[in-house]
Amino acid sequence: MTPELLKASIFQYAMQGKLVEQRPEEGTADEQFRSIQEEIQRLVNEKKIGKPKRVLPVSDIEPPYEVPDNWKWVRLGLVCNEILVPQRDKPKYFDGDIPWCRIEDIDGKYLNGTKSNQFVSEQTVSSMNLKVNPIGTVISANSASVGEAAICTVRCITNQTFIGLVCNDGVYNEFLYYFLVANKGNIRKLGAGTTILYISQDKYWNMPFPLPPLEEQHRIVAKIEELLPYVDRYAEAYDKLEQFNAKFPEDMKKSILQYAIQGKLVEQRPEEGTAEELYQQIQDEKQRLIKEGKIKKEKPLAEITEDEIPFDIPESWKWVKWGNIVNVVSARRVHQSDWKKEGIPFYRAREIAVLSKEGVVDNELYISEELYKEFLSSGVPSPGDLMVTAVGTLGKTYIVKEGDRFYYKDASVICFENRFGMCPEYLAMLMRSPLMTQQIKSNSDGTTVATLTMARMNEYLMPLPPLEEQHRIVAKIEELLPYCDTLVKGIKA
The per-residue pLDDT for range 373-420, each reduced to its tens digit, is 999 988 899 999 999 999 988 999 999 999 999 999 998 999 999 988
119 neighbors 132 (Cβ within 8 angstroms): no
Cα 383 to chain center, whole Å? 39
Q: Is the pLDDT of residue 451 over 90?
A: no
Of 455, 407, 456, residue with least CA distance to 436:
456
Angle at 394 between CA 415 and CA 417, to 5 degrees: 15
Do 244 and 286 meet the contact criterion of CB atoms below 8 Å apart? no
Number of H helices, E strands in the chain: 15, 20
d(CA 309, CA 306): 6
CB 82 within 8 A of CB 132: no
Angstrom CA distances, 166 to 44, 144, 169, 295, 449, stand at 14, 22, 10, 87, 59
pLDDT value, residue 447: 56
Residue ranges of domains in the chain, CATH in brackets: 3-234 (3.90.220.20), 262-492 (3.90.220.20)
CA distance 246 to 80: 48
Helix (H), strand (E) at residue 386:
strand 386-389
Least confident of 35-39, 145-149, 342-346, 488-492: 488-492
Convert the pLDDT of each residue in 175-234 to its tens digit: 999 999 999 888 888 877 666 778 888 888 999 999 999 999 999 999 999 999 999 999
What CA–CA distance (Å, rounded) separates 325 from 319? 11
Largest CA distance in the chain: 112
Residues near 418 by beta carbon (within 8 Å), at least 6 away in sequence: 326, 382, 384, 385, 386, 424, 427
Q: Radius of gyration of the chain from Cα atoms?
A: 37
Does the pLDDT value for residue 489 go beyond 70? no
**pLDDT mean across residues, the chain:** 90
Average pLDDT estimate for 108-137: 90
Residues 99 and 118 sit within 8 Å (Cβ to Cβ): yes
Contact 326, 476 (CB under 8 A): no
CB 219 within 8 A of CB 22: no
Say what the pTM is: 0.61
Beta strands 162-167; 407-408: pairing state? unpaired
Beta pairing partners, 101: 158
Residue 218 CB neighbours (<10 A): 16
Cα angle 39, 43, 49; round to 5: 130
* CA-closest candidate to residue 167, choices 269, 39, 56, 276: 39
Phi and psi (nearest 5°) for 308? Answer: -80, -20
Q: Please answer whether residues 221 and 172 qualify as being in contact, where contact means their C-beta atoms are separated by less than 8 angstroms.
A: yes
More confidently predicted of 82 and 321? 321
- Please tell me whether residue 46 adopts helix, strand or coil conformation: coil
**Distance of alpha carbon 310 from alpha carbon 297, whole angstroms:** 29
Distant-in-sequence contacts of 375-378, Cβ < 8 A, 24+ apart: 375/331, 375/332, 375/407, 378/332
Tell me, what's the pLDDT at 487? Answer: 64
- Indicate if the alpha-carbon torsion angle 370, 373, 379, 380 is positive or negative: positive
Share of the chain above pLDDT 90, in %: 62
pLDDT digits (tens, 9 = 90+) for 462-474: 999 999 999 999 9
Name the DSSP class of 54: P
Q: Is the pLDDT score of 135 beyond 90?
A: yes
Q: What angle (nearest 5°) sits at the alpha carbon of residue 166, between those of residues 162 and 167?
A: 135
Q: Is the dihedral of CA 308, 395, 389, 447 positive or negative?
A: negative
- Who's near 246: CB < 8 A, 6+ residues apart? 491
Give 291's contacts (C-beta < 8 A, 6+ positions apart): none
What are phi and psi for residue 274, nearest 5 degrees?
A: -125, 160
What CA–CA distance (Å, rounded) separates 331 from 119?
Answer: 69
Mean pLDDT, residues 293-305 = 88
Contact 459, 301 (CB under 8 A): yes
Higher pLDDT, 366 or 142: 366
Question: Helix, strand, or coil here: 387?
Answer: strand
What average pLDDT does this structure show over 335-355?
94
Alpha carbon of residue 154 to chain centroid: 37
Q: How confident is the model over 234-259, as a mean pLDDT?
A: 82
